[in-house]
Structure 1
Amino acid sequence: MMPLYAVICKDKEGALPIRQENRPAHLDYINETGIVMLGGPLMEDGKMCGSLVILEAPDLDAAKAWAAGDPYGKAGLFESVSVTEWKKVIG
């Protein structure tokens, strides 16, 4: 099994329209790349405010490249993106 990486993205203020417009391309990218193990929106007060994606990738550079290629990021949805190795312990 390859290492796991957490991609944690925080949306820009008022970015919901960008998220909605680019969702189909984002989901296609996930399916095409085949390295996403888990993923979904971060929530705050019942509203989407970011994304958490767990990747299975050969190394940190590959995980960062995946994040850089995500249509959400390319569309300017995010205020910040961090990619860090993650170790699954439970679940």
Structure 2
Amino acid sequence: MLYIIDCADKAGSGDIRASNRTAHLAYLESFGDKVFAAGPTLTDDGSAMTGSVLIVEFDDRAAAERFCADDPYAKAGLFESVTIRPWRKVLPKSPA
């Protein structure tokens, strides 16, 4: 099942994000094609990161929760909140 993971950074935590970015990216890459999409959310002017949105595939919610808990960003205390929601891809349609 696919899950959308929406993470909001704590205010003033840019230094935490910057110092853990390399480990975070390596962690995501270790999941290979289980990561459908991932990237930061931004301020309106695009000058700063404010959180993360990921679409990931796991067998169940418990696996998605473990994935979130083990993320270097989460372990470093970057996030104010993390929301996990099941998601179904409708468009674009996959080629037959």
TM-score above 0.5: yes
Question: Unaligned stretches of 5+ in structure 2?
Answer: none
Q: How much has 1:33 moved relative to structure 2? A: 2.4
Aligned to 1:19: 17
Aligned to 1:81: 82
Q: Percent identity?
A: 48
SS in 2 for 1:40: strand
Cα deviations by residue, 1:72-91 (Å, 9 ceiling, x for unpaired): 01001000001110111113
Q: TM-score, normalised by structure 1?
A: 0.92
Match of 2:7 among 6, 9, 19: 9
Partners of 1:33 and 1:8 in 2: how far apart? 18
Aligned to 1:42: 41
Report whether the alignment pairs 1:57 with 2:55. no
Rg comparison, structure with higher value: 2
Partners of 1:4 and 1:38 in 2: how far apart? 11
Aligned to 1:28: 26
Q: TM-score, normalised by structure 2?
A: 0.88
